[in-house]
């Protein structure tokens, strides 16, 4: 499951950067996925929802 490892890294970077910048809330995450990345959008969305349940990303929207 290629998508899971990619999204885990992306979410970890977002959380790390939000902590560095002392953010309290993130409302949207804009993600540009190239056609040659071979990432399925529906899987990316599903995984994002699962990974963002219990952290600063809770309730945020993934915009592609």
Question: Which CATH number covers residue 44?
Answer: 3.30.2320.50
Backbone φ and ψ of 44, nearest 5°:
-60, -45
Name the one residue in this structure whose structure tokens are 């999204």: 7
Give how many domains the chain has, as a whole number.
Answer: 1
Task: Give CA–CA dist 30/9, Å, rounded.
Answer: 15
Encoded tokens for 64:
């592609």
Its domain, for residue 54, covers 2-63
The whole-number pLDDT of residue 16 equals 97
Tens-binned pLDDT, residue by residue, of the chain (64 aa): 689 999 999 999 999 999 999 999 999 999 998 888 888 889 999 999 999 999 999 999 999 8
- 44 in Cβ contact with 62 (< 8 Å): yes
The whole-number pLDDT of residue 1 equals 61
Name the one residue in this structure whose structure tokens are 């915009």: 63
């Amino acid at each position: 499951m290629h998508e899971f490892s990619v999204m885990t890294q992306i979410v970890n970077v977002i959380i790390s950067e939000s902590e560095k910048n002392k953010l309290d809330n993130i409302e949207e995450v804009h993600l540009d996925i190239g056609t040659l990345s071979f990432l399925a959008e529906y899987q990316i969305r599903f995984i994002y929802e699962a990974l963002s349940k219990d952290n600063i990303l809770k309730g945020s929207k993934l915009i592609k």
